[in-house]
Structure 1
Amino acid sequence: MFEKIEMLRMARAMGLHTQSRHIEVARNIANADTPGYRARDMQPFSEAYRKADGTGPLRVSNARHLDSPAWSPGGARVIETAGPVSPNGNSVSLEDQMVRAAEVKSHHDRSLAIYRSGLDLVRSSLGRR
């Protein structure tokens, strides 16, 4: 029942996207001195959650088939970020990665706040405040 509430579904998707983005930022920081490593980031959540080109979840041709989930971290693409390249071919800027880490934390806090708000609404509707 509760998995069909769009706000809770979106908060879950935002949390999973934030997790994937945090992994990419940590990977960039870990490879800051690796020659030839290119900094990467995740596609923005707004682009990954609702595709504007109309390609959504897969359609099923038989009622017994399982349809794809509404959103999964696999839907967001990893993209290479543009930036200055050092003489050894590495494009990771630690300052930039620290800013991205702060963005990831704020997005994580936002997803938790949305989830909490949704749960409060559900509790209120059930009369269990």
Structure 2
Amino acid sequence: MSSQPIELSDAELRERLTPAEYAVLREADTERPWTGELLDEERAGLYTCKACGNELFAAGTKFDSGCGWPSFYESVNPEAVTLLPDLSLGIERTEVRCARCDSHLGHVFPDGVGTPTGDRYCMNSLALNFTADDEA
């Protein structure tokens, strides 16, 4: 799938997403740690944006960071996500947004110890769909 930007109307997104998914993807909410259905997913496959289907993370880059959210050490390609400064909690963080539909996915931190990149993309399960390789 192309990361070419698209615009989705608020009405279309509210119809497509649950209220909790909408809160994360469009209002930058965060799901509670250890509650996401994709946290313990271990099958080979692909993670995509729940709002638009943009391909975001390969399952092979997922790792157990112990933070309570699905963590990845890199996106499928640099153009899949947009990184923005986030000072909303009074601390400097880097927000991760879908490059295709500009939905909030989570944050990236430079503390992915032992990973090839040193990064930890800390994502909300509510922002992602997962398709196992054997389901594709």
TM range (shorter): under 0.3
Length-normalised TM-score, structure 1: 0.21
Larger gyration radius, structure 1 or structure 2: 1
Length-normalised TM-score, structure 2: 0.21
More helix by share: 1
More strand by share: 2
